[in-house]
Amino acid sequence: MLTLRRLHPLAARNVVPPKICFSIPRPRRIPELRPLTTKPGKNTLSSQPPFPIRAVLVGTTVGLGTPIFATAGVVAAWFRFFRFSNPTVRVISTVVFGGGVGNIIYGWVGPFLYNHAEIVLPFAVGNAISATFWYSVLETR
Is the separation of the CB atoms in 111 and 85 below 8 Å?
Answer: no
pLDDT in the model for residue 74: 81
Cα gap 7→70, rounded to integer Å: 75
Most confident of 11-15, 54-58, 66-70, 101-105: 54-58
pLDDT in tens, 69-81: 888 888 787 777 7
Give 48's pLDDT tier (boundaries 50, 70, 90): confident
**Residue 124 predicted with pLDDT over 60:** yes
Question: Which residue ranges make up each domain of the chain?
Answer: 66-139
- How far is the C-alpha of 77 from the C-alpha of 73, rounded, in Å? 6
* pTM for this prediction: 0.53
DSSP secondary structure letter of residue 41: T
State the pLDDT at residue 66.
92
